[in-house]
Structure 1
Amino acid sequence: MKKRFGLLPRIIAAIILGVLLGNVVPEWFVRTFATFNGIFGNFLNFAIPFIIIGFIVPGIAHLGKGAGKLLGISTVIAYVSTILAGLLAFFVGSVLLPSLVAGNTLQTAENPEKFLQSAFFVVEMPPIMDVMSALILSFIIGVGIASTKGDTLEKAFDEFQIIIEKFINVAIIPLLPFHIFGIFMNMTFGGQVQNILFVFAKVFVLVIVLHITILLFQYTVAGTLSRKNPFGLLKTMLPAYFTAMGTQSSSATIPVTLQSVKKTGIRAKIGDFCIPLFATIHLSGSTITLVICSLGVLLLNGGHPTFVSYFPFILMLGVTMVAAPGVPGGAVMAALGIMKSMLGFDQTMLSLMIALYLAQDSFGTATNVTGDGALSMIVDRFMGKEKTTIEVQEEVI
């Protein structure tokens, strides 16, 4: 399958065209795309519970079937790293973003919908269950499959995950650029797009700086434990970083990540076990992007984020993105549900979130993959000279 025009260029083109045409097209044209956006938004809202179930159930089931010290240590380290990344993003973002976003909120009128053109008609698509019900159901089934060690349900949900991934690739991803085009054209028509782009630029820079910060922290810890130069270790992992930027998929980068991490001197069996596992459960870069972008969108819409509201969201992110699909934008798709239920995002905010996240997805994926190398070195040190069991790896993967 040849992709001559990838998702990121299409997203950028959609934003540019939306901004340019929003200044010249007639109202009926904007309302036509507003109608499409309403239908697509409701369709996405309907699909969110299925996305949650399709990703979380197999992720928990596969993770729980492993056994032994190596799996336990690896899982704890990956989760702690992801949560620390989210907390770093929140504290830095909550300090810097309010002043950066000040004067650029969309709620310049009593009713923020006044600057948006309405759809010609609305097609209601109520989801079969709410987000929290889908999350609870996913945990119950995932833990149940892991504890009973049954194969029938596990295979069924593995196949269901494949269906959901195809659904995202075929029905969601191709339509996203048109959805984002409609959103930005509508914002431009209403005279609000300059505020959005101004905030987008600041958020983008802040995300990249935090990606670099978390990588330096991870490799400082790994270098200290292994008594090696952190910058030398980081340099060794650069091939994986740049490969991930191109593929936008942790899974697709596994061969290069494995090759790079083994050059750092860790035991081959540790690398063979940890890298495929971390590609699934460790998303520190994506977590930083999601937290900072959500803070930006929330502030842009006049919200007031607090630690009380964000800490549970960050904790849930570490679980929700387990087994996020190996497709561009997989993490934000998996996180849409909890942004809606825990942060109160409406459909317009979710659309802005998708656009902002996808514009930086390659950097987040590259940070995830590069961080996997540091975590593998940390696991290698914690395991000491203890023998590893390949059988555990075969059960998990």
Structure 2
Amino acid sequence: MARRLGLGTQIFIVILFGILLAFLTKNTVAHDTVLAITQLLGKLFVEILKAIAPVLVFILIISAIAQHQTSTLSKSHGLKSVLILYAIGMLMAAIIAVSISFLFPVTIPLQGIEAANRPTPNGLGEVLSNLLFKIASNPIKALSDSNYLSILVWATVLGLALKKSPEPVKQLLNSLSSAISAIVQWVIRLSPIGIFGLITSTILTTGLQALNAYLHVLLLIVVAMAFMAFLGNPLIVFLKTKRNPYPLVFTCLKESGIIAFFIRSSVANIPVNLNLSKKLGLKEEVYSVSIPLGATINMEGAAITITILTLAAVHSVGIPVDFFSTLLLVLLAVIGAIGASGVPGGALPLVPMAASLFNIEHDVAMQMVAVGLSIMVVQDPCGTALNSSTDVVFTAAADPKYNR
């Protein structure tokens, strides 16, 4: 029966069951036993997430950079324009997410917050000093300590060094990337068990406060995505084309976004987007590349999710945030979104990379990943609809043929 149910349905069912079980056992003799079992399930799930996340970031970034081809870009000005629009869109998405998070801050009941309340850097000089020392860490130690800044830099350097490597090496990197993505998918398939443990144990200890916080986070993410879809992307298109963007935006949302919402995969939605691009009369030499490429790197929804979950952790811990740290968060969210695994919830394991900017303990950051998995039943289809429809929106905006 479990195989017939989608992951979102399974998560929804276990959340309801967890709430019911928590209320039925809260003031009974079974309370301590249920709490111990569900805490064990939740903690085990978080530990598995902690184990896979650093390796995921390291392998995906190396593979993406090493296999990135610049020759195709140099031949197509239109493709360059699309990629620039992709980058601008993700930056704007992260900025919108930051703004909404500060306007409506949310705190999540988390375990081990006292361990994260260590002194935070003050001033630009101290922030830069801490960043440099983190970056200079040994790569093996960085992986074992979950030092995401060092992991990011070493992965980038190794990826650049491997760009001119023989094709078999690149094929090996691609196989490793596919393998680590498959492992992430296996872990996410276990998420209903972990979320059941987390939800039940949290309600047994904090009551409904946690559920309200989860809904608050979900609302911020959905509002940010809607803002980007109906205001952010149209603004970018208008500045590029000097035309009313909404006929194009609404067409893409209707013919691409709705389908992507239900299939929850930008990659699976590629045939739909290719057909829509042809229907719009776009240049095939551009959209035949920009659409498959956008399905893997144009991730406005992931940038929003990473940013909001990271700032929710920051607010929960009570860390003050300065302008420079916020700017770095925006950049890391975009980099993390580009490197996100192309599976449902694939961006969530990258949250600790952004959270490491604020000296947040890995244990606390991974609890935010579990929060993200809890709301994934709504967050993921909304993000996929935004990502996939935007691929066509920006491809059309960059196409002179469409703009005439």
1:138-287 to 2 correspondence within 5 Å?
Answer: 138-146=155-163, 148-170=164-186, 172-190=187-205, 192-216=206-230, 217-222=232-237, 225-226=240-241, 228-237=243-252, 238-287=254-303
Q: Is the 8 A contact 2:9 2:377 kept in 1?
A: no
Does structure 1 residue 338 correspond to structure 2 residue 353?
yes
Q: Which range moves more in the overlay, 350-359 or 30-39?
A: 350-359
**Partner residue in 1 for 2:98:** 90
Question: Offset of 1:90 from its aligned partner?
Answer: 0.5
Report deviation, 1:331. Answer: 1.5
Partner of 2:47: 42
Residue identity matched to 1:84? M
Structure 2 CA distance for aligned equivalents of residues 42 and 370 of structure 1: 35
Deviation at 1:368, TM superposition (A): 0.7
CA contact (8 A) 1:187 1:193 kept: yes
- Say yes or no: does 1:379 pair with 2:398: yes
Q: If the length of structure 2 is used for normalisation, what is the TM-score?
A: 0.80
Separation in 2 of the partners of 1:270 and 1:109?
50
Q: Could you tell me which amino acid in structure 2 is paired with residue 274 of structure 1?
A: S
Judging changes above 3 Å, is the alpha-carbon distance between structure 1 residues 27 and 158 closer, same or farther for their aligned structure 2 residues? same
What displacement does 1:245 show?
0.9
Matched residues in 2 for 1:55 and 1:110: separation?
Answer: 30
Q: How far apart are the structure 2 equivalents of 1:32 and 1:219?
A: 49
Is the counterpart of residue 318 in structure 1 residue 334 in structure 2?
yes
Counterpart in 2 of 1:106? Answer: 109
1:232 positional shift:
1.7
Q: Distance in 1 between matches of 2:19 and 2:59?
A: 35
For residues 30-87 of structure 1, the C-alpha deviation after alignment (integer angstroms, 9 at most, x for no partner) is 2123223333322321222211122111211222444415454333321221011101
Structure 2 CA distance for partners of 1:250 and 1:5, relative to 1, 3 Å: same
Unmatched segments (≥5 aa) in structure 2 = 117-141
Structure 2 equivalent of residue 295 of structure 1 = 311
Preserved CA contact (<8 Å) 2:143 2:151: no
Residue 130 of structure 2: aligned partner? none
Distance 1:107 1:352, change over 3 A: closer
What SS is found at the alignment partner of 1:212? helix
What TM-score do the two structures reach when normalised by structure 1? Answer: 0.81
Q: Residue by residue, what CA displacement relative to the aligned partner does 1:125-158 show, whole Å, maximum 9, x if unpaired?
A: x963533332222111211222x25323211111
Partner of 1:8: 8
Among residues 50, 61, 80, which one is paired with 2:88 in the alignment?
80
Q: Paired residues, what number?
A: 363
Distance 1:149 1:4 in 2: 43
Return 131-140 or 243-252, whichever deviates more. Answer: 131-140
1:243 is displaced (CA, Å) by 1.4
Distance 1:105 1:218, change over 3 A: closer
SS at structure 2 position matched to 1:80: helix
SS of residue in 2 equivalent to 1:321: helix
Checking the alignment, whether the CA contact within 8 Å between 2:61 and 2:339 is kept in structure 1 is yes
What secondary structure, in the 3-state scheme, does the structure 1 residue paired with 2:340 have? coil
CA drift at 1:268: 2.3
The 3 A distance-change label for structure 1 pair 105 and 227 is closer
Structure 1 gap ranges (5+): 114-125, 386-397
Mapped contact 1:236–1:263 kept (Cα < 8 A): no
Which deviates more, 304-313 or 230-239? 304-313
Matches within 5 A, 1:112-127: none
SS at structure 1 position matched to 2:101: helix
CA RMSD of aligned residues (A): 3.0
Separation in structure 1 between the aligned mates of residue 172 and residue 101 of structure 2, nearest angstrom = 41
How far off is 1:282 after superposition? 0.9
Change (3 A) 1:264 1:212: farther
Q: Corresponding residue for 2:129?
A: none
Counterpart residue number, 1:30:
35
